[in-house]
Structure 1
């Protein structure tokens, strides 16, 4: 039995779907089981359970009887607390394997990257008795879905990272790597940095969307302080907003321009390009 936390998020839903389609026993953890948005096959095959990182009893119940855990959480300063709470449950139940979704650059320049939130969890995973694998993905291709309302409305896409490029990765590749780590012994004790096949800036991605959607798309630069104020005004945690803007500055300075072949190493095929992802999701952009 494989427990997937964050089972209704971008990566979690894919992991649950792939496991279900491969006939694996899978348990999908979510705070609101009644509203779980899973594929038809996953909804039929997966055991959906309630689990809240702030409720240790719910984690204990979710972990009971599992053999492996895929540990992921929404980004934010709460990640350390949530990781350690789940790993306490993992330890108390003697779970044999943990695969943790972290972030690119964890442990390096942690004051600038969301990876700083993941470092305590990574250390705890490595120090535990369970066999472990750590996945450190770069920027998700799906992050550009936030542009969809602007593109549909004919408005310019906001650019906070200038010409800074990243190894944009398809979430489906991350999920497939996670499934490989969860279901085979080949990736024990490994840390993988997961990127796409090419470095892309915001203007690069917009140009690809222009081609795929066959429509004009404009870009407008947004000062980071202005973006931070907008995030806080929208109700986001000020610490989250500050770290997010540091991350945007980090990218703009070209300091996240990293490519690896770890997706190829694990999956035995090239990583999907952003153009492939965009073509597969063209309907979302209108």
Structure 2
């Protein structure tokens, strides 16, 4: 039995489906079990409820560990590791973040490094996945595209090794089902470095519609995020992250997807083609 946390999110939902397609026994953990698609075993679980975590890991051999971004990640990771110890769990596959422990990535390192260290010290088998920018982040542009509005570029000419969620999930599933990736730390990127305008140009070609990109300002971004209910800590993290990309700090490519899967990673354009309908 494999426990999938974050089972209603972008990557977790793909992991859950892929495990089912391979005939593996999988259990989805969710705060709202009603959000998990029918046909999957599901358990109500909350990272901040120790009793629910102990129930979730009962009878489980491996855990896919994924928590939503934010300062709570370290607490969630440590709670899951604590619940797993002394049970039948023998492996944890954790989704971390690119650059954890490196200069320039201090905020996300603070989120993920405590969990990484606890998993390494747990005595369990483990694999750590550190993905770069998700291709699916482009879905946030859909409302503007559908409304015929220009897209705001807060990244300048900075680039990311944009990675498809399906590739992250594929590495995770293989790590959960085999011992081939035990003790490995993978920095997962796509095959090319792309700026935001380059991504938009590829997306425009896929949907067959011209798309306009205009520069965005930090003041504008701050106001938009605060209007959406973000707190100052999160706004500061976003602004710092965008500046880091603008300065070329996240221009990182690796061969870790191919090293793990024996095939090259998917391109952003291929992801866009698979998700074309979301932008129309």
Q: TM-score, normalised by structure 1?
A: 0.95
Cα deviation, 1:246-281, whole Å, max 9, x if unaligned, reads 111111111100000110011111100000000111
In 1, distance between residues paired with 2:226 and 2:272? 30
Contact 1:4 1:28 in 2 (8 A): yes
**In the alignment, which residue of structure 2 is the partner of 1:29?**
29
Cα deviation, 1:83-136, whole Å, max 9, x if unaligned, reads 111111011424100000000000113655523311111111111111000000
Moved over 2 A (4+): 109-116
**In the alignment, which residue of structure 2 is the partner of 1:154?**
148
Structure 1 gaps, min length 5: none
Contact 1:103 1:114 in 2 (8 A): yes
**In the alignment, which residue of structure 2 is the partner of 1:18?**
18
Q: Secondary structure at the match of 1:204?
A: helix
In 1, distance between residues paired with 2:215 and 2:106? 21
- Alignment of 1:265 with 2:259, yes or no, is yes
**In the alignment, which residue of structure 1 is the partner of 2:239?**
245
1:51-66 equivalent positions in 2, closer than 5 A: 51-66=45-60
In 1, distance between residues paired with 2:238 and 2:114? 19
In 2, distance between residues paired with 1:145 and 1:99? 26
In 2, distance between residues paired with 1:28 and 1:35? 10
Moved more, 220-229 or 204-213: 220-229
Moved more, 257-266 or 239-248: 239-248
Post-superposition shift, 1:194?
0.2
In 2, distance between residues paired with 1:141 and 1:53? 27
1:209-220 equivalent positions in 2, closer than 5 A: 209-220=203-214
- Pair 1:64–1:110, CA change in 2 (3 A): farther
- Alignment of 1:67 with 2:61, yes or no, is yes
**In the alignment, which residue of structure 2 is the partner of 1:256?**
250
In 2, distance between residues paired with 1:196 and 1:54? 34
**In the alignment, which residue of structure 2 is the partner of 1:138?**
132
- Alignment of 1:177 with 2:171, yes or no, is yes
1:218-237 equivalent positions in 2, closer than 5 A: 218-237=212-231
Post-superposition shift, 1:222?
1.4
Post-superposition shift, 1:223?
1.4
In 2, distance between residues paired with 1:113 and 1:15? 26
Post-superposition shift, 1:228?
2.1
In 1, distance between residues paired with 2:183 and 2:22? 24
**In the alignment, which residue of structure 1 is the partner of 2:70?**
76
Moved more, 150-159 or 107-116: 107-116
- Pair 1:186–1:111, CA change in 2 (3 A): closer
Post-superposition shift, 1:229?
2.9
Q: TM-score, normalised by structure 2?
A: 0.97
Post-superposition shift, 1:241?
1.7
